[in-house]
Amino acid sequence: MEDLAIMYHYVQTPKWRGIVPLDPIDFELQIEWVTKHFEVVDPTDLGKQRSSKPFCVLTFDDATKDQYEVAFQILSRKGLPAYFTVMSGPFVERKVPIFHLIHAALSFFSDEQIWDELNNRYDVKDVPEKCQIYSYETSLFRRYNKYALNFHLSEQESREFLEEKVLSIFHSFENFIDSYYINENEFIKMRQAGMTLGVHATHHRPFSGDARAFFDSEIEPCRQFMREKLGVEAKWYTPAFGGGNQAERMMKELRGILENHGFVGAFTTKPGLNSGLDSFWLNRYDCISLPPRSEFPWK
């Protein structure tokens, strides 16, 4: 086991308060470290004969705009391949997953303001004593807001509240989606530049426990979108939330269905190295657990 896969989400200067991105300077330093120790390849090349160095695949989840504007530009300049994933729901149904709406809303409004508005509209008096899972957040109001929006309100209530906040900044949903995500033209440019595009999700739901139904609702519609709009026949898959609570079951029960539909492999959120394409489900290290942000974890 010596090949590395790295998982990236946002790569941008920390201009938004809702998220903890990897700074572009750290991204460049990481790429320097990677190219010193590994040969950067696209996922399919994991199956080829190694030269002197082990392989590294750079993988990007969620297709947020910064990945096109920052990471893709840096990688193109250096002539390095990478693997980016598509989430089709926002384009096809104009529906943005709740966790992205939260990132966006918490970026543009103060925690106090959001908490005040939640209090005016909903019964959230139990939230302060229940929100311990967010104790890593230093701001109290941020803890309350995250708990209220993720767990206390119904999905419908959270969605209504958050969409209204986001619309007050971006004016139209189309405008928000185009600002927040890599769009069709940009994906096509990335494909033409040699990047590998794979399936992330339709709606970004965790594995449901029913492999067939999950494939039909979360994987196939995204693949169809990629075929029709991007001209790509997707062969790689990255499950949303790494599959979620039922990740182990997902790995057992979904693999055969994916292989029958021509998928070659998939990237999990389980940390660890890989050995070529010996395993269908490949391990990944999060970018912040590697240099320059952290020590090399396995040496």
Residues 61-100 that bind Zn ion (CB under 5 A): 61-62
- Nearest-5° Cα angle at 274, 246 to 284: 50
Q: Residue 297 and residue 299: Cα distance in Å, rounded? A: 6
- Measured on CA atoms in the order 131, 135, 140, 145, is the torsion positive or negative? negative
CB of 47 to Zn ion, least distance (A): 25
Examine residue 163 and tell whether it contacts Zn ion (CB under 5 A). Answer: no
Residue span binding Zn ion (CB under 5 A) among the ranges 55-63, 89-97, 109-117, 264-272: 55-63
Q: Which is nearer to Zn ion, 61 or 186 (CB)?
A: 61
Residue span binding Zn ion (CB under 5 A) among the ranges 29-37, 59-67, 178-186, 263-271: 59-67
Residue span binding Zn ion (CB under 5 A) among the ranges 54-62, 63-71, 93-101, 282-290: 54-62
Residue span binding Zn ion (CB under 5 A) among the ranges 88-96, 156-164, 234-242, 290-298: 234-242
Residue 262: burial class (beta carbons within 10 Å; 0-12, 13-18, 19+): exposed
Q: Which is nearer to Zn ion, 240 or 258 (CB)?
A: 240
- Which DSSP symbol is given to 88? -
CB of 61 to Zn ion, least distance (A): 4
Q: Which is nearer to Zn ion, 55 or 97 (CB)?
A: 97
Q: Judge contact between 135 and 165, C-beta under 8 A.
A: no
CB of 86 to Zn ion, least distance (A): 11
Number of residues that bind Zn ion (CB under 5 A): 3
Q: Judge contact between 194 and 186, C-beta under 8 A.
A: no
Residues 238-267 that bind Zn ion (CB under 5 A): 240
Q: Residue 142 and residue 69: Cα distance in Å, rounded? A: 28
Q: Judge contact between 296 and 6, C-beta under 8 A.
A: no
Q: Which is nearer to Zn ion, 9 or 143 (CB)?
A: 9
Dihedral angle computed from the Cα positions of residues 206, 90, 28 and 275, in that order, rounded to the nearest 10 degrees: 40
3-state secondary structure of 252: helix
CB of 135 to Zn ion, least distance (A): 24
Residue span binding Zn ion (CB under 5 A) among the ranges 27-35, 40-48, 157-165, 237-245: 237-245
Q: Residue 176 and residue 169: Cα distance in Å, rounded? A: 8
Residues forming the site for Zn ion (CB under 5 A): 61-62, 240
